[in-house]
Amino acid sequence: MLKTNEEKIVEMYMECKPGQPRIGAGWRVDHKGKPFILPSIGGITLNVVVGDSAFGLAGDHIEPGASCTANDKKMFEFPNNSLQMLSCVGNDAKILSGNAKGAKGTVIGHHGGSEHIIIDFAKDVLQKMTYDDKILIRTSGQGLELTHFPDIKLFNLDPLLLKKLKIKTTPKGILKVPVTTKVPAQCMGSGLGRAHVAAGDYDVMTSDPETVEKYKIDQLRFGDFVALMDHDNSYGRAFVQGAVSIGIVVHSDCRLAGHGPGITTIMTCPKPLIEPVLDSKANIADRMKIGNKRPSKKKKK
């Protein structure tokens, strides 16, 4: 079992609400020069949840479930900046008002630019929600450390989810981390160079068909845990040979140049101390039984 400083982690409540979809007026142009008008960032997305494919949607930068903010007027300012920094993948969420009051959900990550946190709720809950609903997040995870692996840094990760990732250690001091996909360094695009990874995401570029096919990038699903090879996220997002970062897919494929499925970082190391192990079930839906793996409710007789 991995030893951590879990007993020292500070838990705080933060409140947010769903944010309206954000779509700019007029045409956008994809990396091939083709204009499009499609659903995009934000909103309460009724028919897309974690575990579903992040490809093939008639949309761009689609976020599954409910995209939430604490300040939709000034998304880079208080209290939304605090919500971004403190909310972690795997945190519990609870709806406090409206027709879906009392329903519970799970934070799956952050989306930079829109500065949303993305929360998975059951589809029947999403259909009851409105943009006035209050949601309470039990934030926990920033500051989490692996006490026996000081070179490996954790970000945006709830301590309880860490225990469900099925990570193994080797006698040589290497962590074997299950992932669905190994993404080559040259595919990482929008968001690269950000000063820290305690908020936001960065994109797996999908503009080169041969690379997409070779690394099976088009098989990514919302909620997949993936390995970003030769990328160190310790103090920002940077190319470093031998480094490995682990992240989770938080938004869909995109048509714009430099974009693709978005990844929120949860683990990183500048040294080759993380060994990605391919596992088709390395998805938060499978690990936490949410999204399309949520048990169906039994009808009363």
The CATH number given to whatever domain includes residue 56 is: 2.40.10.170
Give the pLDDT of residue 24: 83
Choose the final residue of a domain: 96, 114, 139.
139
Give the pLDDT of residue 247: 98
Whether 164 is in a domain gets the answer yes
Reported as a single tens digit per residue, the pLDDT across 112-170 is: 999 999 999 999 999 999 999 999 999 999 999 999 999 999 999 999 999 999 999 99
Reported as a single tens digit per residue, the pLDDT across 225-262 is: 999 999 999 999 999 999 999 999 999 999 999 999 99
Choose the final residue of a domain: 86, 109, 139.
139
In 127-233, which ranges are continuous DSSP H helix?
159-162, 209-214
3-state secondary structure 55-111: CCCCCCCCCCEEEEECCCCCCCCCCHHHHHHHCCECCEEEECCCCCCCCEEEEEEEE
pTM of the model: 0.97
> Cα separation of 166 and 69, whole Å?
31
Strands annotated E in 171-261: 175-179, 181-183, 202-203, 225-232, 238-251
| Statement: residue 6 has pLDDT above 90 | yes
Task: Count up the domains in the chain and report the number.
Answer: 2
> Cα separation of 183 and 261, whole Å?
11
Give the pLDDT of residue 298: 66
Domain range for 28 is: 6-139
**Domain containing 258 — which CATH number?**
2.102.30.10
